[in-house]
Structure 1
């Protein structure tokens, strides 16, 4: 896959949760790379994940995300404010 991000991404392996539906729905994910502007997330399946959601990392960080691209098990997200 061709690198589409404008910001340099750093490899990582951190757990987190995709949170939507006013906090009533969560999906476990793994962050595989990270930059100031976005990340690549790995999930079991992208089915049911909305285009915008909150990302809560196991280390306590929180991000508002918008999906830029998706495959069957991966999401490319941009961080928004």
Structure 2
């Protein structure tokens, strides 16, 4: 398999929050790069199945990132940073 990502990804286990329209949903960042991330969604965040964009808050790193959804399967989601 040929790796086609622009930036290397790093495995992490960081608590984060998806902010969409003022509603907040907990999630976990499973891997991250300078261009995107893979998220594991909580039960409540799984309601975001049709959402295409949101803000990701990672308090540990003091990050507030605008995201666009690239893929979603079950309780996992891949995003690119806008």
Per the alignment, do residues 25 and 4 of structure 1 end up closer, same or farther by CA in structure 2, a change over 3 Å counting? farther
Aligned-residue CA RMSD (Å): 1.8
TM-score of the superposed pair, with normalisation by structure 1: 0.84
Q: Give the unaligned 5+ runs of structure 2.
A: none
Q: Give the unaligned 5+ runs of structure 1.
A: none
Give the Cα separation in 2 of the matches to 1:70 and 1:4: 19
TM-score of the superposed pair, with normalisation by structure 2: 0.83
Between the two proteins, the alignment pairs up a number of residues equal to 77
Write 1 or 2 for the structure with the bigger share of helix: 2
